Amino acid sequence: MRIGMALNPAFVSGRDEPEAFGLEITGTTNGAAIVGDHAGIGYTEDPVSATETVKWSNSSDPAAAATYGIGAAPTDYTAGDGGYLWLHVTDGGDTVSRAAPIRYALPAAFTAGQWSIAAA
């Protein structure tokens, strides 16, 4: 018996069988899906297939609605700030899922009174 725990829902834990194919969300910033960057978000699948079904969602359940669309890139996910952008890809009857936290970008600089903070 194997017991697993994952702190990040983007990782599958506690499974004995290997995933059917590799899957990665691309275009994130430090692993986060930045609000307003949805046109630059995509995915890679290994091995590459032309028969996959792609769903972008706010749910970890692959059967849930495609909240953020279907296809190569998600639609605007601004309303999901603080949640996760889930990618569910089904190919050959197997489904693999990945997630990225949805966050607003940090400002380049912030000034309040005599204090000023610049992003590194």
The residue extents of the domains of the chain are 22-118
CATH architecture group of domain 22-118:
Sandwich (2.60)
- Write out the chain's pLDDT in tens, 120 residues: 444 444 445 444 445 578 999 999 999 999 999 999 999 999 999 998 878 899 999 999 999 999 999 999 999 998 888 999 999 999 989 999 999 999 987 666 666 666 666 655
Give the predicted TM-score (pTM) of the model: 0.75
Name residues whose C-beta falls within 8 Å of residue 9's C-beta, 6 or more positions apart in sequence.
60, 84, 99
